Amino acid sequence: MEPIRFDDFLKVDVRVGRIVEVRPFPNARKPAYQLEIDFGAEIGRKRSSAQLTQCYAAEELKGRQVLAVVNFPPRQIANFFSEVLVLGVPDTDGNVVLIQPEREVPLGGRLF
């Protein structure tokens, strides 16, 4: 693993948002949802494609707080532009499990 400087870490802008919309994404290469996430007044609502279908039903995701990188450039996935990267870690089967605050926190809060 290549070490990074603390200043490099600070360039990654990880914020708390709330999933407000969840839609199926049939055009994705791997099973995924299209998410709309509210990051509060400063950042607003952003869209993301997330491969969460193995661990989460759509109705489980709506209203959930998540952590996401908000300063990557948009990435086109099929016919959809993903604006943020929702963060998760793989379980023992390789399925994505979301990283989220342990309790309710203000939207837009920055990880540091």
Is the predicted pLDDT of residue 14 greater than 90, yes or no? Answer: yes
Which residue is it, tokens 């995924």? 32
Query: Buried b vs exposed e over 45-78: b needs ≥16 C-beta within 10 Å?
Result: ebbbbbbbbebbeeeebeebbbbbebeeeeeebe
Banded pLDDT at 112 (limits 50, 70, 90): confident
pLDDT of residue 103: 97
Mean pLDDT value across residues 56-67: 98
Which structural domains are found in the chain, ordered by start? Answer: 6-98 (2.40.50.140)
Percent residues over pLDDT 70 in the chain: 100
3-class state of residue 11 by DSSP: helix
Contact (CB, 8 A) for 71 and 83: no
pTM exceeds cut of 0.85: yes
Mean pLDDT value across residues 49-65: 97
